[in-house]
Structure 1
Amino acid sequence: MLEEAELFYKASLDELAKARSEADAQKRSVLVRDAAEKAWNASVKAVEALLTAYGYDPEDIKTYKMKRDKLEELESKNPQVRDMNLSDRFAAREQKLHIRCFYDGECTAEWLEEELKKVKKLIDDVYSMLATQAASA
């Protein structure tokens, strides 16, 4: 699943590059919003990878709410996950990328570029936690 997160992240970068080269403002807006949704999916896949690696059943993390709840549960049990502040970061990506940008259209290519850095950091932090978990297993 973490590989899927990387694929969605790369797709969001590609979509953002297309948006930057689009002259038509309406088409550019659609491309930016699509890039944001791909970035949101990258965040979702990263969290799914983390939760399943820590033993959560995929059936128990199907919805965004289920993912948020299980991530908060994992934070309450695991200091490393808690210290990474993942539930807040995941909720922020949902609000900013999925709701504010994709649904509400309140974003620009420049704004999204900064948000994509946060998505990449989330993915990298999940990689780090999974490596630590594997080393201690």
Structure 2
Amino acid sequence: MDLESEVMRALKVIYLKRGICVQSGAAVKELIEDAEAFARAAEGEFSEAVGKGDRILIRDAAEKAWNAVVQATNALILALAGKMPMSHYERRVLLRELEKRYPVVKDLGLRDRYMARYKILHGETFYEGIVDIEELKVELEKVRQYVEDVKRVVGAHTAGN
């Protein structure tokens, strides 16, 4: 069995344990729901953290926002490519491939937007501890828009199939 087959088998086991059938599209729906939930949690936690002046909680909120992007990206890739990425590198590669196959992915700049959120939310804010409140307000809005754009692309693709 090759590596890709092993990975897909392992993913199916994981999803089956969670009661999700990958082939039915339920996994894509759950990933979108998770993305929306992480975005909401990030916004709430950010507001609370700013009110308290809690830099650690602000960094945690940034990481939740980043996870919203990851979950939305996973949904997009699973819906359009039928694969579940296993790493950030694999997400970038698959997004690049999707840009070639689906003009809307390129037109919306989803790969570039994914990379920008990775840099600011995950890298600079969470790991490096750079806390710029005004920048994070902008980033949280961009996360919300990214999730909505992915949701529209996935919905259009699902409706067309």
Aligned position for 2:146: 122
* Structure 2: stretches of 5+ with no match in the other structure: 1-30
**Match of residue 35, structure 1, among 61, 65, 85:** 61
Aligned position for 2:78: 52
Superposition RMSD on alpha carbons, in Å?
A: 1.1
The 8 Å contact of residues 7 and 42 in structure 1, kept in 2 or not, is answered as: yes
The 8 Å contact of residues 19 and 109 in structure 1, kept in 2 or not, is answered as: no
* Structure 1: stretches of 5+ with no match in the other structure: none
Aligned position for 1:65: 89
The C-alpha deviation readout for 1:35-60, integer Å capped at 9, x for no partner, is 100000000000000000113322xx
Larger radius of gyration: 2
The C-alpha deviation readout for 1:71-106, integer Å capped at 9, x for no partner, is 111111111111111100000000010001101111
The 8 Å contact of residues 5 and 42 in structure 1, kept in 2 or not, is answered as: yes
Name the CA distance, whole Å, in 1 between partners of 2:134 and 2:59: 12
1:12 paired with 2:38, answer no
Structure with higher RCO (Cα < 8 A, 6+ apart): 1
Aligned position for 2:130: 106
What displacement does 1:131 show? 1.6
Name the CA distance, whole Å, in 2 between partners of 1:136 and 1:57: 19
The C-alpha deviation readout for 1:16-67, integer Å capped at 9, x for no partner, is 12112214xxxx1111111100000000000000000113322xx1100001
TM-score (ref. length: structure 1): 0.91
The 8 Å contact of residues 53 and 130 in structure 1, kept in 2 or not, is answered as: yes
The runs of at least 4 aligned residues of structure 1 exceeding 4 Å deviation read none
% identical equivalent positions: 38
Code of the aligned partner of 2:73: V
Between 77-86 and 41-50, report the one with greater CA deviation: 77-86
Report the secondary structure of 1:54's partner residue. Answer: helix
